[in-house]
Amino acid sequence: MKLSVYSLKKILYQGEASSINCQTVSGEITILEHHRPLLSMLKEGVLRILDGKKQEHFLPVKSGFLEVNKDSQVRMIVEE
Amino acid sequence: MDSLQNIKRRIKGIGNINQITKAMELVAATKMRRSQELALTSRPYAFAALDFLATLSQLDGVVLPAILEQRPIEKKLVVLVTSDKGLCGSFNSAIIREFERFLKKNSISFKDPAYAFLAIGQKAGQYLERRTKNLAGKFTRVGDYTTLEQIKPVADKVVAGFLNKEWDEVMVFSTQFRSALKQDVLTRKILPVSFENLKKSAQDIVPETGKFAEIAREGGTLIHTDKKEAKEYIIEPSPEVILNELGAHLVLMEIYHMILEANASEHAARRVAMKNASDNAEGLAADLTLIYNKSRQASITKEIIEIVAGAEVMN
């Protein structure tokens, strides 16, 4: 699935991802391919992204919002 | 005519001024580019945030949080965005002129308790402090290019006042960066939050011409979600909570954009003003050099005449 992580200062991540793990206000979730549409809020924690080549990326997050849309594209707007 | 020494001193002085204004011109040009860049990088973020808002607003039966609420307008907050420093041509006076026109048109006096004023930038602060007692606040040193940390107190103040019903509407006078040579004063309503206003200001970030206009055309569009699709969404923890947070966020974002744009405009205005100053200095130096050479020649001629006259007397 396609993932974009934006902050007000720059684009933090843009590209393919096979798994995204993050802390939302209702608990820790992992988003995989074909997730249901979702809108949620992120809380302070670490965003773990597993990209197409099984490479792990970590991004620190202070707060933010997360959306998975019907084409299972994931967009996040975060504050670092 | 001045003495040779005097003219020489003046030429030197003008040369120094020329050097300084030229340096300031270059610095302003670089800063302008940087603040434009900053404004543009935040664009995808703005569009994503707008999309989220659009999706949420498609849902039925959601209670709007106070920040998105439209209520009868009794009190207004007027925000003036200017620069801290001068030497930027008509940048600040254009904003103040527009503001005064607005006051006149609606026959508002500075004493009217239905209006509060907020100053961003030293110049607006000085202007308002002298005239009104309804000054809600003064924020200075928003800097060459503003940062989120600097904007936070401004946004907090504006939002808190709105939530406490100190004002029901927030209007902002700021400068829109249309191109490096053209900046316009623009009046925007930032509160209550409306989708149309937000969308417009996200699109306005792109200047009409120049390098950045090209880059921006490539990305940044809104993805439309219709009612049926919006129902499919799982929303955690609840639409109300997200809307509340998102609303505050959007206001912060909008103020951030506005001030970045004002920063870019300030630098653009300063660049033009400094360019004019250096051009003038160059012209002045050329004129003075001409006068200097003429008077030097005149004094040589005078000396020769004296010598010749002296020689003739001897004969």
Q: Is the pLDDT of residue B218 over 50?
A: no
* SS3 at position B188: strand
Sign of the C-alpha dihedral computed for residues A22, B62, B240 and A5 taken in this order? positive
**Going from the N-terminus, what domains does chain B have, and what CATH number goes with each?**
26-272 (3.40.1380.10)
Helix axes B239-314, B195-204, angle to 10 degrees: 30
pTM above 0.90, yes or no: no
Write the pLDDT tens digit of every residue in B251-280.
888 888 888 888 889 999 999 999 999 999
Is the minimum CB–CB distance between B73 and chain A shorter than 8 Å?
Answer: no
Return residues 142-161 of B near A (CB < 8 Å): 148
Phi, psi of B185 (to 5 degrees): -85, 135
What are the beta bridge partners of residue A78?
A64
Interface test with A, best of B145, B152, B233, B260 (most A CBs within 10 A): B233
Q: In B, which residues are within 8 Å of A71 by CB distance?
A: none
- Which residues, 6+ apart, have CB-to-CB distance to B179 below 8 Å? B207, B208, B209, B210
* ipTM of this complex prediction, to 2 decimal places: 0.89
Nearest residue of chain B to residue A9 (CA atoms) = B42
Give the model confidence (pLDDT) of B157-206 as tens digits: 888 998 888 889 899 998 888 888 888 888 888 878 777 777 777 777 66
pLDDT tens across A8-37, in order? 888 888 888 999 999 998 889 999 988 888
For B61-107, what is each residue's pLDDT tens digit? 777 788 877 888 888 899 999 998 888 888 899 999 999 999 899 88
Nearest CA in chain A to B229: A70
Q: Is A9 within 8 Å of B42 when comparing Cβ atoms?
A: yes
CA atoms B154, A47, A73, B65: torsion sign: negative
Question: For every residue of B203-272, which 3-state class applies, written as one string?
Answer: HHCCCCCCHHHHHHHHCCCCCCCCHHHHHHCEECCCHHHHHHHHHHHHHHHHHHHHHHHHHHHHHHHHHH
Domains in chain A with CATH codes? 2-79 (2.60.15.10)
pLDDT at B219: 47
